Structures are given as structure tokens and as C-alpha cells.
């Protein structure tokens, strides 16, 4: 059941339907009202797909879903953001191993206290092309 949900989620994302930032409509276990959830395709030790830190009630980059596409287990992920000079910078937390699945907001923070409007993306340590939902 969980695997089927993950595959359909990835298929939606691959079709480009779920890649836009969406305001989370209703409070749930994994996201609260006022935070944005964005599904991003990761790069290999580089930012991959990127988006911009929302002006929202969430200050951090939280991983709320992850799917390592090359294995059934997980990958290690790092948050990248553009600093004030416009250079891609890896979050100080570095790479964090994250098992595939859904994660509660606040459980896995890749970057803390990111300035609104800053561009960010997610890197995979072992191989890229994974799907990571960032709630921000
Ligand atoms: Ca991977």
C-alpha cells in the first residue's frame, strides 16, 4: 500500500503535476497551515531542481517525504541554498541519511532559518534523481 502510494506520487511528480509549490490546505500530521510543501528532484551532490523559500510560518527546510529512486531504502540528502552573494551553499547540517517515506515536520531539518525568497534545492549523496518534499 505504501509502495503503491509512493509510486503514484512519483509518477505525478514526473508528469510535472506536483512540482509546483502548493499551500497546504488543511492541517495534518506532516504539515501545518501556513507552510508550503514543494516536491523537488534531487541532484547528485548538487542542488538539482530548485525553488524559493516561501514567506510562511515555517522558518526551516523540513523533509516531509523522500523517495530514493534507485533503491527501496533511502539516500543521504543535504540542503543547498543561495547565500547573500548568490553562491550555492550547502547547509551546515551536511548530508543526513533519510529512509524512504513520509516524515513529520520538524523531524528532519536540512537548513534552519532560511531567509524568505532565497533559492534552495536538495542534493543526494549516493545518486541523484530522487524525490524529496520540502515543507517550508
Ligand atoms: Ca538516490
pLDDT in tens, 105-127: 999 999 999 999 999 999 999 99
Residue 51 has pLDDT above 50, yes or no: yes
Q: How far is the CA of 131 from the centre of ligand 1 (A)?
A: 9
> Contact, 46 vs 123, CB < 8 A?
yes
> Contact, 58 vs 105, CB < 8 A?
yes
Q: How far is the CA of 79 from the centre of ligand 1 (A)?
A: 14
Q: How far is the CA of 50 from the centre of ligand 1 (A)?
A: 17
Residue 74 has pLDDT above 50, yes or no: yes
| Structure confidence at residue 103 (pLDDT) | 98
Q: How far is the CA of 71 from the centre of ligand 1 (A)?
A: 7
Q: How far is the CA of 26 from the centre of ligand 1 (A)?
A: 30
Please spell the DSSP secondary structure of 21-38, one letter per residue: -EE--S--SS--TT-EEE
| Structure confidence at residue 108 (pLDDT) | 97
Q: What is the CA radius of gyration of the chain?
A: 14
Of 115, 120, 119, which Cα lies nearest the Cα of 132?
120
Residue 64 has pLDDT above 50, yes or no: yes
pLDDT-based confidence at 21, cuts 50/70/90?
very low
Give the CA diameter of the chain: 45
pLDDT-based confidence at 33, cuts 50/70/90?
low
pTM above 0.85, yes or no: no
Amino acid at each position: 500500500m505504501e509502495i503503491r502510494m509512493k509510486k503514484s506520487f512519483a509518477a505525478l511528480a514526473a508528469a510535472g503535476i506536483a512540482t509546483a509549490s502548493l499551500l497546504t490546505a488543511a492541517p495534518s500530521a506532516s504539515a501545518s497551515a501556513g507552510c508550503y510543501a514543494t516536491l523537488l528532484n534531487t541532484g547528485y551532490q548538487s542542488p538539482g531542481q530548485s525553488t524559493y523559500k516561501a514567506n510562511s510560518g515555517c522558518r526551516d527546510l523540513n523533509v516531509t517525504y523522500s523517495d530514493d529512486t534507485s533503491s527501496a531504502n533511502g539516500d543521504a540528502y543535504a540542503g543547498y541554498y543561495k547565500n547573500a552573494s548568490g553562491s550555492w551553499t550547502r547547509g551546515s547540517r551536511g548530508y543526513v541519511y533519510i529512509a524512504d517515506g513520509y516524515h513529520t515536520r520538524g523531524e528532519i531539518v536540512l537548513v534552519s532559518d532560511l531567509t524568505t525568497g532565497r533559492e534552495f534545492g536538495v542534493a543526494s549523496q549516493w545518486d541523484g534523481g530522487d524525490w524529496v518534499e520540502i515543507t517550508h
